[in-house]
Amino acid sequence: QLYREARECLTLLSQRLGSQKFFFGDSPASLDALVFSRLAPLLKAKLPNGKLQQHLKSLQNLCNYCTSILSLYFPWDGGESRPLPSPAGWGSEGDEDPHKRRKQLLSVLVGLAAMLGYAFLSGIVSIQRGGVGPAGRQPIALEEEEEEE
């Protein structure tokens, strides 16, 4: 029954897509992302029971839909694996942008400053001086405060 309902769902999706590139016209919507996230693994993965996969492969417009999204948004997935930089090539990335490390450090420092500024302004963090308080009283330590209660 589950396979029958899944085949029916695929058929309905195929009918709804028709000859369009995406479900709502020429540009993708969130529904396209959701449908693609379910169809692509079903289409590409090796499955122990291929009934549903065979039905999907028989719906040519859904296969073309997945293929076009894969080639548009994942161009390295054209049958070959995505090229990974070699360890020897890691050092050469800095040649593209000689100030890359400085920019990374600067962005980390700006983010840290922003978080600290927010913490101070919102009252999450405050600075108190450790000297004698007004009228000659010492501030009560946390442990002393708990004992007094």
Out of 14-28, 34-48, 89-103, least confident range:
89-103
Residue 91, amino acid: G
Q: What are phi and psi of 71, to 5 degrees?
A: -75, -30
What's the confidence (pLDDT) of residue 134? 57
The first and second tokens of residue 60, run together, are 């040519």
> Which whole number is the average pLDDT over 86-97?
52
- Asked whether residue 74 carries a pLDDT value surpassing 90, the answer given is no
Concatenated DSSP letters of 108-129: HHHHHHHHHHHHHHHTSS----
- Asked whether residue 79 carries a pLDDT value surpassing 80, the answer given is no
Contacts of 66 (CB under 8 A, 6+ apart): 36, 39, 40, 43, 44
- Asked whether residue 132 carries a pLDDT value surpassing 70, the answer given is no
What's the confidence (pLDDT) of residue 94? 46
What's the confidence (pLDDT) of residue 131? 61
Residue 103, amino acid: K
- Reported as a pLDDT band with limits 50, 70 and 90, residue 100 is confident
> Which whole number is the average pLDDT over 39-63?
90
For the chain, what is the mean pLDDT?
A: 78
What's the confidence (pLDDT) of residue 137? 57
What's the confidence (pLDDT) of residue 59? 93
Q: Are 13 and 31 in contact (CB under 8 A)?
A: no
What's the confidence (pLDDT) of residue 12? 93
- Asked whether residue 23 carries a pLDDT value surpassing 70, the answer given is yes
Cα–Cα distance, 75 to 87 (Å, whole number):
23
